[in-house]
Structure 1
Amino acid sequence: MTKSIDSNTSLADHFLVVRQQSVALCAPLRPEDYVVQPYPDVSPPKWHLGHVTWFFENFILAEYVDGYTPYDTALNWFFNSYYESQGPRITRSNRGNMTRPELSTILDYRRHVDERIAELLASDHREIIRIRELVELGCHHEQQHQELLLTDIKYILGTNPFFPAYTDEPVTTETQAAYQGEYLKVETGLHTIGHEGSGFCWDNELSVHQVYLEDFRLATSLVANGDYLRFMRDGGYERFELWQMEGIEWARSLEVKAPLYWVQDESGKWLHYQLGGGLQPVDPSLPVTHVSWYEADAYARWAGARLPTEFEWEAACKVAGGGVRNDQNWSDRTNFQPLASGDLLGDTWEWTNSAYLPYPRYPRPEGALGEYNGKFMVNQMVLRGGSCATPQSHARVSYRNFFQTDKRWQFTGIRLAWDGLS
């Protein structure tokens, strides 16, 4: 995991900004919203605020501060997520039962740890270089949880029958017409894959290696809501020939055969829940989001296309000059709506047809931090691109996200690929 904060940046200031951002993201919530867990994959906001704090305390303060007194050792059981080496923990699906400790205690826990980390960074500790590396890692970890926090909040509010809005800011829309029917063309040859340079990356983005790809095309636009509506109206959820076997069984079990957060009103018009504004009519020009890999794969087959591999996606992103043509998809972070920007970064996480596996010479870290990515490299598919909820500094060409094939509470979308150049 290489560095991303240069010598001209105050790590202590960056740490405090990241920590304050997590609390700010929760500001629109009501007290009751902090605790609920309507789905096993969704963690209560209060848990996120505590877990990222435990990460700093457990892996830095307890390790490097002589005689450090933990805020409350009982919190370890609540806030250890999946680190087997760090002792017993609450079952993930039971995090919503954590009515105590109350929110005020969690916020006090955060202040305690923030003060101790600030003191440690200002010290002349013999291990200050390693401490700085771990604080930076913890900041990136917390930023990952900020994205999870937003998507978990959306599930908490978006599955509530009152559909309360997270923010009253109107949803921004952008036309997608300018990008329809255009392709990024990548010719046969060897392509470099993996994180290059000295900027921060996760261990699963390493090591750099080459892959051989044959001619292919990648759509410059994401699949839009209007496109997906046509798939639905063509009986897409019932046509078994479009789906993998597991996928059609999953689709048949859906109460609503549509993307997550879509509902029909009494007239049959489709609405979807948005963080900005709550329940709103589906805009046909915006990218379809909150679809599973099963849905993405079936839609691609219906459209006479396929999903790209993660290697094709990365190669095409580099052909496009790094994936971001402008900053419009970073200009409004108040309602977290993917735009039809034509960029490969920052709108939706894009499903690929690649299983999540280690790269050649994968440098799995030793110790507890080796559990961060490596042990999840089984039975999951890779997503690329970053979403409207991803911190901008995390949306890079080599970033690899991963989820099981049925997951769709993240901002997941679809970009199509085809064999050949024409």
Structure 2
Amino acid sequence: MSLRPLGIAPSLPASAERVARFLSVRHRTVALTAHLRPEDTVVQSMPDASPTKWHLAHTTWFFEQFVLGRARDYVSPNPEWHYLFNSYYQSVGPMHARPRRGMLTRPTLDEVMAYRRRVDDAVAARLEAGDDDALPMLVELGIQHEQQHQELLLTDIKHAFAQNPLEPAAIPDAPRSLSMAAPALRFVPFEEAVVRVGFEGDGFHFDNEGPRHRTYRQAGSLANRPVTNAEYRAFVLDGGYDQPALWLSDGWATVQSEGWRRPLYWDEALETEFTLQGRREIDPHAPVCHVSYFEADAFARWAGARLPTEAEWETMAGDLPVQGNLQETGALHPRATSFDTPLGLMYGDVWEWTMSPYVSYPGFRPLDGSLGEYNGKFMNGQWVLRGGSCATPADHVRATYRNFFPPHARWQFSGIRLGNDR
């Protein structure tokens, strides 16, 4: 399999450090499931979500397929599992239907955990051997893939637990969100310019983040913080879900067919919301979360604003440090924060919808071989989000990172930062 470089720095760390990083991320995934019981891990609450056990197995399959599978003498002890845990790599082989992942009661959770340990040991040994120059790059891609699934694991189990009348807590020991007043909403202006966007330089990046290129940015402004729960509640109480003029056509059709009246996980009284820690009172100052692109766009119209483009978001984020309420805080829920910088914190809390469709950059070329299916083939009918969330690892996100989901999706930690033409 031929691969172009993914942007890994030429001076790679020593093999021991690579192994430590690999095992640290793998162990972190398991740690996120510490409070789950075996019964919890097999539930699939909707076709877009996957069971926890499947996430644990699929991320392991990725390393087995694309790292261990490079060795000609490698023989999988469970070749039949490749069909079960392949996600969407058609060039690798057939796969179990995504909406039916919840039917996979076997292999058991114990068998999946043994599978993880076996593959972890094998990958660590391969890294320590240092006899394959492409291996560090492939392992780093697998690590980044694992981090994506850490967030998916959390959002998927949250959705599953929300369907249970008992409303159990998936992460009961997470620290409660800090309560503080959100700063007053204001807009930070930017000038008309030809700007450069996309990844450039050393360090890891996904293929869809490049190549770096020039694009036109019209003069406008960007809000200094995400939209709060209190602001979104005002939209709801003002009949936002009853005004078709605020909605895109497909958005209005979705509101009608799905019966949307408020963000996902809010109660009818607009007073509490379901979280990974169970049901809690809504913090009016925290960023609103679990809204779709359709809802974000409708709110922006109601507010007399718009969503930002991804070029606006990226150039305004600029060289700001990646800091904020990310996975490492342990809160795993958006929270109100105070800050002194003009744009506040551009990372963490909620992924921020942009008005940019997920399409390729000029000159984009996917990775060679089967890994070319990772990003490029999804460049239709989806919208870009930026900035990471409370469930995103801090070393996984950057200004050029392009997350993407279809416009109706709202089970992810997605929120709103407003843009404006003024």
TM interval, short-chain normalised: over 0.9
5+ residue gaps, structure 2, are 1-5, 338-343
The answer to whether structure 1 residue 25 and structure 2 residue 32 are counterparts is yes
2:323 is aligned with 1:313: no
Superposition map of 1:167-206 within 5 A: 167-168=171-172, 169-178=174-183, 180-206=184-210
1:15 pairs with 2:25: no
- Counterpart of 2:135 in structure 1 is 131
Distance, in Å, in 2 between the alignment partners of 1:131 and 1:177 is 46
Q: 1:185 to 1:30 in 2, by over 3 A?
A: same
- Paired with 2:253 and 2:185, the residues of 1 have a C-alpha distance of 32
Aligned counterparts of 2:283 and 2:42: Cα–Cα separation in 1? 32
Q: Which amino acid aligns with 1:193?
A: V
The residue type equivalent to 2:406 in the other structure is: Q
- In structure 1, runs of 5+ residues without a counterpart are none
Moved more, 2-11 or 182-191: 2-11
Tell me how far 1:154 sits from its aligned partner: 1.0
The aligned counterpart of 2:267 is 263
1:323 to partner: Cα distance: 5.8
**1:218-237 equivalent positions in 2, closer than 5 A:** 218-237=222-241
Distance 1:137 1:247 in 2: 35
Offset of residue 256 of structure 1: 4.7
2:100 and 2:130 map into 1 onto residues whose CA distance is: 41
- C-alpha deviations, 1:228-274, integer Å up to 9, x for none? 0000000000100000111111112234511011113xxx3521001
Note closer, same or farther for the CA distance 1:218–1:52 as it changes in structure 2 (3 Å cut). same
Report whether the alignment pairs 1:102 with 2:103.
no
> Within 5 A, what are the aligned runs for 1:359-374?
359-374=361-376
Kept in 2, the 8 Å contact 1:185–1:316? The answer is: no
Q: Which amino acid aligns with 1:322?
A: L
| Maintained 8 Å contact 1:262/1:273 | yes
Determine if contact 1:159/1:261 at 8 Å carries over to the other structure: no
Provide the residue aligned with 1:56 in structure 2.
63
Match of 1:398 among 397, 400, 406: 400
- Contact in 2 for aligned 1:275/1:335 (Cα 8 Å): no
Residues 383-410 of structure 1, C-alpha deviations (whole Å, 9 max, x = no match): 1111111110122100000000000111
Q: Does 1:143 align with 2:147?
A: yes
Query: Match of 2:336?
Result: 340
Structure 1 residue identity aligned to 2:377:
K
1:151-166 alignment to 2 at 5 Å? 151-166=155-170
| Percentage of matched positions with identical amino acids | 46
For 1:249, the equivalent position in structure 2 comes to 253
Cα distance in 1 between the residues matched to 2:270 and 2:245: 27
1:417 maps to 419
Instruction: Check if 1:76 corresponds to 2:76.
Output: no
In the alignment, the residues of structure 2 paired with residue 316 and residue 204 of structure 1 have an alpha-carbon distance, to the nearest angstrom, of 20
1:375 is matched with which residue? 377
C-alpha distance in 2 between matches for 1:382 and 1:159? 28
Q: Find the residue that maps to 2:411 and give its secondary structure.
A: coil
SS in 1 for 2:267: strand
1:42 is matched with 49
Moved more, 66-75 or 214-223: 66-75
1:365-395 CA-partner distances (Å, limit 9, x unpaired): 1110000000000111111111111110122
CA distance in 1: counterparts of 2:87 and 2:197, whole angstroms? 30
Q: Distance in 1 between matches of 2:42 and 2:356?
A: 35
Give yes or no for contact 1:167–1:334 (8 Å, CA) kept in 2.
no
What secondary structure does 1:108 align onto?
A: helix
Match of 1:273 in 2: 274
> Partners in 2 of 1:410 and 1:194 — Cα distance?
24
The one-letter code matched in structure 2 to 1:343 is L
Judging changes above 3 Å, is the alpha-carbon distance between structure 1 residues 307 and 243 closer, same or farther for their aligned structure 2 residues? same
Q: Residue type matched to 2:405 in 1?
A: F
- Name the counterpart of 1:389: 391
1:339 aligned counterpart, secondary structure = coil
Paired residues of 1:352 and 1:382 also in contact (CA < 8 A)? yes
Where in structure 1 do 4 or more consecutive aligned residues deviate above 4 Å? none
Distance in 2 between the 1:244 and 1:135 partners?
Answer: 42
What displacement does 1:120 show? 1.1
Q: Which deviations, in whole Å up to 9, do the C-alpha atoms of 1:23-81 show, x marking residues without a partner?
A: 111111111110010111110000001001111111111222x3212020010011000
CA distance in 1: counterparts of 2:414 and 2:270, whole angstroms: 23
Distance 2:135 2:188 in 1: 43
Q: TM-score, normalised by structure 2?
A: 0.93
* TM-score, structure 1 as length reference: 0.93
